[in-house]
Amino acid sequence: DAGVIQSPRHEVTEMGQEVTLRCKPISGHNSLFWYRQTMMRGLELLIYFNNNVPIDDSGMPEDRFSAKMPNASFSTLKIQPSEPRDSAVYFCASSPEAQVEKLFFGSGTQLSVL
Amino acid sequence: GENVEQHPSTLSVQEGDSAVIKCTYSDSASNYFPWYKQELGKGPQLIIDIRSNVGEKKDQRIAVTLNKTAKHFSLHITETQPEDSAVYFCAAISGTYKYIFGTGTRLKVLA
């Protein structure tokens, strides 16, 4: 099992540019989460998908952030336009249907917006 | 709102000694309490968890205790090894997916 796969591992971009983060959940897991980690705010849930449907997007900071899950094996988190305060580590996590509370995290994307 | 307080923020122990990390939660409806270990450059990894109907759970060198009345739960690591060095997060859930994470404890095991 390859685990949750995220790409890219590191992203450096300039303010105003569009950023797209990608995630492949563990095969068979039907819940997918996007989290953001910063020193100031810790781990924050951005959005939760279940069976490819967004269930809770109340953590998405503002309209500049959007997330999609077109199929069970792929999700994207897009920031457009990016701002320096978006700099953080973004994690994708998935969990199985029988134990949705047990999160399996990817290695994260370190985003730096200059 | 709901929150989880975690202490200490940093902890240094000698190899072979025990380490204890404590968390307090506010939502009395919380029913699941996992602990995650995060190594440098990696995502958090679930290492042990406990549900509200259990007072203690042990897995080799790690154990978790829960006091529902006091809304406290703790992680105990015995016979610490250098590879235990990492950041540890506690969390609480009420319902199925809304995690409230603690602020993390950076554990250093000194050889």
Report CA-CA distances (Å) from B93 to A96, B29, B98: 16, 8, 6
Interchain contact B2–A (C-beta under 8 A): no
Judged by CB atoms closer than 8 Å, whether chains meet at B34 and A102 is answered as: yes
A85: buried, middle or exposed (CB in 10 Å: 19+, 13-18, 0-12)? exposed
A5-7 and B4-7 beta bridge pairing: unpaired
Residues of A with a Cβ under 8 Å from any B Cβ are 4, 31, 33, 42-43, 45, 48, 55-56, 91, 93, 100-108
Give B34-74 pLDDT, tens digit per residue: 999 999 999 999 999 999 888 999 999 999 999 999 999 99
Which among A43, A100, A106 is the nearest to B101, CB-wise?
Answer: A43
* Min Cα separation B54/chain A (Å): 17
Judged by CB atoms closer than 8 Å, whether chains meet at A42 and B32 is answered as: no
Give A63-83 pLDDT, tens digit per residue: 999 999 999 999 999 999 999
The token pair at B110 is 């000194």
A48/A33 Cα distance (integer angstroms)? 5
- Residue A1: CB atoms within 10 Å: 7
- Which residues of chain A does B96 touch, with a Cβ-Cβ cutoff of 8 Å? 100-101
Q: What is the pLDDT of residue B94?
A: 81
- Answer yes or no: are the C-beta atoms of A21 and A112 closer than 8 Å: no
- Answer yes or no: are the C-beta atoms of B102 and B21 closer than 8 Å: no
Q: What is the pLDDT of residue B34?
A: 96
Phi and psi at residue B89, to the nearest 5°:
-120, 135
